[in-house]
């Protein structure tokens, strides 16, 4: 699946371009450290999902929204840890990835701009499925096809 951020120091990538304002805000705060990131949580937040995302969460993927909706404002540690990790050095040799890899990404994803997925897919030689108009969540609807793709990668 796509929707993963590229490394913060990705060559040739304008890392914040296409990201929703609140995402830029919390990630630039994370670059200044954990306390700054925690303080940024209290600021305004813009809508992160588009209509296709909401439709996916109202359909067969509603359980995913139920899980996410169970978190309270006191359950921030995981999200903050993620944001701090996103802006730190990866220490991963992407050139060492040899396994067949599929990345799926929506072109309307404002949380993780599609340019990030393209950058990673190009760097690791992944199969790339771009879903026009999908946001951050809607690409889960491609999972049945992705599982068939994965099955086809396994030798006879």
Residues 96-153 have pLDDT tens digits of: 999 999 999 999 999 999 999 999 999 999 999 999 999 999 999 999 999 999 999 9
Contacts of 113 (CB under 8 A, 6+ apart): 17, 18, 19
Global pTM value: 0.88
In a domain, 61, yes or no: yes
Question: Can you tell me the distance from the alpha carbon of 2 to that of 141, in angstroms, rounded to the nearest whole number?
Answer: 12
Structural domain boundaries enclosing 77: 21-153
User: Is 5 domain-assigned?
Assistant: no
Q: Is residue 30 part of a domain?
A: yes
Total domains in the fold of the chain? 1
The pLDDT of residue 45 is: 66
What's the number of CA atoms in the CB half-sphere (13 Å) around residue 122?
11
- Which residues does 92 contact at the CB level (< 8 Å), separation at least 6? 7
Model pLDDT, residue 83: 94
Say if 53 falls within a structural domain: yes
The answer to whether position 10 is within a domain reads no
Q: Is residue 3 part of a domain?
A: no
Residue 130: beta bridge partners?
105
- pLDDT confidence of residue 1: 47
Q: Is position 144 within any domain?
A: yes
pLDDT band, very low/low/confident/very high, at 89 (cuts 50, 70, 90): very high
What is the reported pLDDT for 101?
95
* CATH number (domain holding residue 82): 3.40.50.1820
- Domain membership of residue 15 (yes or no) is no
Residues 6+ apart with CB under 8 A from 16: 24, 27, 28
What digits encode the pLDDT tens for the residues 7-57? Answer: 999 999 999 999 999 999 999 999 999 999 999 886 666 678 888 988 888
């Amino acid at each position: 699946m796509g929707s993963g951020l590229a490394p913060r120091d990705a060559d040739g990538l304008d890392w914040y371009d296409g990201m929703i304002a609140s995402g830029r805000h919390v990630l630039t705060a994370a670059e200044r450290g954990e306390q700054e990131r925690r303080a940024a949580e209290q600021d305004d937040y813009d809508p992160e999902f588009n209509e296709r995302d909401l439709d996916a969460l109202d359909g067969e993927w509603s359980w995913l929204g139920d899980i996410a909706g169970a978190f309270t404002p006191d359950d921030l540690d995981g999200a903050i840890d993620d944001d701090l990790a996103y802006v730190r050095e990866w220490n991963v040799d992407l050139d060492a990835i040899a396994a067949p890899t599929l990345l799926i990404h929506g072109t309307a994803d404002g949380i993780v701009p599609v340019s990030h997925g393209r950058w990673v897919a190009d760097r690791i030689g992944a199969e790339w499925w771009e879903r026009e108009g999908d946001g951050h969540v809607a690409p889960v609807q491609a999972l049945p096809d992705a599982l068939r793709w994965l099955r086809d990668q396994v030798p006879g």
